[in-house]
Amino acid sequence: MEALRDTEDRHPLGSPSVEPIGSGGSYRTDAVHPRRIEPLIREDHAESLIEAALRFAIFNDAVSTVLVGYSTLDHLEYAARSINKGPLSRAALKRLAALQNTFVGEAR
């Protein structure tokens, strides 16, 4: 989630290194990919990438558990407000799938 904060600076409580848990080959890659799905926000499918990620994960039948990391009470409250908005719309999920398809075949 830290990569979704629109900065490549690590939060003071964030993991000092992405390897081996990151999805990309570097923290920079993990920070750049979420920016490529920002059209979801510009098109008003969600308020932020963090909200979109939470709403996608929590209401996905293939996901049994969503772990929410937070370092302040505000982060926890934001996560709760986001989840209370319910699942992403079908239009948002369709748009997300189209955006994710642009990542296919890229080197990590």
In a domain, 74, yes or no: yes
Give the tens place of pLDDT for each residue, 39-91: 999 999 999 999 999 999 999 888 888 888 888 999 999 999 999 999 999 99
Looking at the whole model, is its pTM more than 0.85? no
Do the domain assignments include residue 106? Answer: no
Q: Is residue 55 part of a domain?
A: yes
SS3 track for 47-79: CCHHHHHHHHHHCCCCCCCCCCCCCCHHHHHHH
Share of the chain above pLDDT 70, in %: 70
Query: Does any domain span residue 59?
Result: yes
Question: Residue 84 gets which letter from DSSP?
Answer: H
Task: Determine, yes or no, domain membership for 83.
Answer: yes
The boundaries of the domain holding residue 86 are 2-100
Residue 105 lies in a domain: no
Residue 108 falls within a domain, yes or no?
no
**pLDDT category, 102, cuts 50, 70, 90?**
confident
Percent of the chain with pLDDT over 90: 44
Longest CA span, the chain: 39
